[in-house]
Amino acid sequence: MMEQFIAGLPKCELHVHIEGTLEPELKLTLAERNEVPLPYTSIEEVRAAYDFDSLPSFLTRYYEGVRVLLKEADFHELAMGYLRRAAAQNVRYAEIFFDPQAHTSRGVPFDIVVRGLRRALLDAERTLGVRAQLIMCFLRDLPAEYAMATLLESLPYREWIIGVGLDSDERGNPPVKFAEVFARARQEGYLLTAHCDVDQENSVEHIRQCLDVIGVDRIDHGVNALEDPGLVEEIRRRGLGLTVCPVSNGFVTGDRKTDAIRRMLDERLRVTVNSDDPAYFFAYMTENLEVVHAALDLTADELVRLERNAFEVAWLPRLLKDARLDELD
Ligand code: HPA
Ligand code: ZN
């Protein structure tokens, strides 16, 4: 009963890494097509290697996987695969992260990455009826100078990218490391978000930096904000969205942190539920919502609330937001 309700609910995904949607099958296909050696020969072997117990152990497999992506057609195929799955789950709108430095650092041109993804977004809107926009993430474990160079390289494609984010290994890489990069991104008209991953050391301090130094328009994860009443109050006052990813949390911390979602709902924060790296965590939007429902016994109103929150904080013009919010009435 509620399963059908969740399946049919119009959805909005705000936290998904396109490289994290690389399914084992496509990974093997592209490895063969592009002659990139992988230490796996079957889908079962690929899957068996997904035994993460931390963010770094996940990132190792994630960066191993991206090596098969070389051509514009590969990026197009990757994004079409995600958008097809999303559309099948009634995702009506998605904001999709991509990691240009995971590709430019291997000699794949920025232009190839962004053109392949952009073309998929246009095709998906036409053929699947799902709308999507791109958010470019900087890899925080690489130097700030490389992030700045990537930002400058993105400027000719400014119209194709709605905002910038910050991902990869948070440990020892606080938001302030990228203060100048984000300030310039803001000047160029990009909207700003940053990962504040779950249970990182100095998590509360990193979230504070996002608010006071970076001036983010959204927070990715941000679960540890609940430890500091001052942060909770400020996030509520600014109406910032929090993109929480329960199945991902389970893989990298051993705890899905669904209680945090309950508290955020009770605190009237704009909490949203998302998939993060669905091909690695075996859960897209519907499965993430099911996990939250199973843990919290959400009412239909609360499930709708999660999707309303997402459309409200989405980086869409008011008119387009309202059209999607109407579907939830
Ligand atoms: N966390 C941090 N960086 C990432 C992730 C994530 O879940 N996925 C891809 N890059
Ligand atoms: Zn993420």
Band of residue 13 on the pLDDT scale cut at 50, 70, 90:
very high
Query: Does residue 248's CB lie within 6 angstroms of at least one atom of ligand 1?
Result: yes
Ligand 1 atom 4, closest CA: 168
Query: Does residue 101's CB lie within 6 angstroms of at least one atom of ligand 1?
Result: no
Q: How far is CA 43 from CA 47, 106, 119, 316, in A?
A: 6, 25, 28, 37
Query: Does residue 280's CB lie within 6 angstroms of at least one atom of ligand 1?
Result: no
Give the ligand at the shortest distance from the Cα of 140.
1
| Dihedral sign from CA coordinates of 249, 281, 171, 114 | negative
Query: Does residue 62's CB lie within 6 angstroms of at least one atom of ligand 1?
Result: yes
Flag whether pLDDT at 64 surpasses 90: yes
> What's the pLDDT at 283?
98
Cα–Cα distance between 140 and 168 in angstroms, integer?
6
Is 195 annotated in a binding site? The answer is: yes
In the reported structure, the alpha carbon of residue 174 is separated from the centroid of ligand 1 by a whole-number distance in angstroms of 15
Query: Does residue 15's CB lie within 6 angstroms of at least one atom of ligand 1?
Result: no
Give me the chain's average pLDDT, please.
Answer: 98
Burial class from Cβ neighbours inside 10 Å (0-12, 13-18, 19+) for residue 63 reads: middle
Cα–Cα distance between 219 and 211 in angstroms, integer?
9
Ligand 1 atom 2, closest CA: 168
Report yes or no on whether pTM surpasses 0.90. Answer: yes
Average pLDDT over residues 113-137: 98
Ligand 1 atom 3, closest CA: 168
Average pLDDT over residues 259-275: 98
Ligand 1 atom 5, closest CA: 168
Burial class from Cβ neighbours inside 10 Å (0-12, 13-18, 19+) for residue 237 reads: exposed
Is 277 annotated in a binding site? The answer is: yes
> What's the pLDDT at 324?
94
In the reported structure, the alpha carbon of residue 14 is separated from the centroid of ligand 1 by a whole-number distance in angstroms of 13
Interval 87-123: pLDDT, tens = 999 999 999 999 999 999 999 999 999 999 999 999 9
Q: Are 58 and 252 a contacting pair, CB within 8 Å? A: yes
> What's the pLDDT at 118?
98
In the reported structure, the alpha carbon of residue 318 is separated from the centroid of ligand 2 by a whole-number distance in angstroms of 26
Structural domains in the chain, CATH included, are 16-326 (3.20.20.140)
Residue pointed to by tokens 């962004």: 114
Query: Does residue 220's CB lie within 6 angstroms of at least one atom of ligand 1?
Result: no
Band of residue 1 on the pLDDT scale cut at 50, 70, 90:
confident
Flag whether pLDDT at 215 surpasses 90: yes
Cα–Cα distance between 123 and 5 in angstroms, integer?
28
> What's the pLDDT at 45?
97
> What's the pLDDT at 145?
98
> What's the pLDDT at 196?
98
Per DSSP (E only), the strands in 84-208 are: 91-98, 131-139, 161-167, 191-196
Per DSSP (E only), the strands in the chain are: 11-17, 91-98, 131-139, 161-167, 191-196, 218-221, 241-244, 270-273
Flag whether pLDDT at 199 surpasses 80: yes
Average pLDDT over residues 212-221: 98
Q: Which residue blocks in 192-317 are alpha helix, DSSP H? A: 203-209, 229-238, 246-253, 258-266, 278-281, 285-296, 300-313
CA angle 235, 193, 273 (to 5 degrees): 70
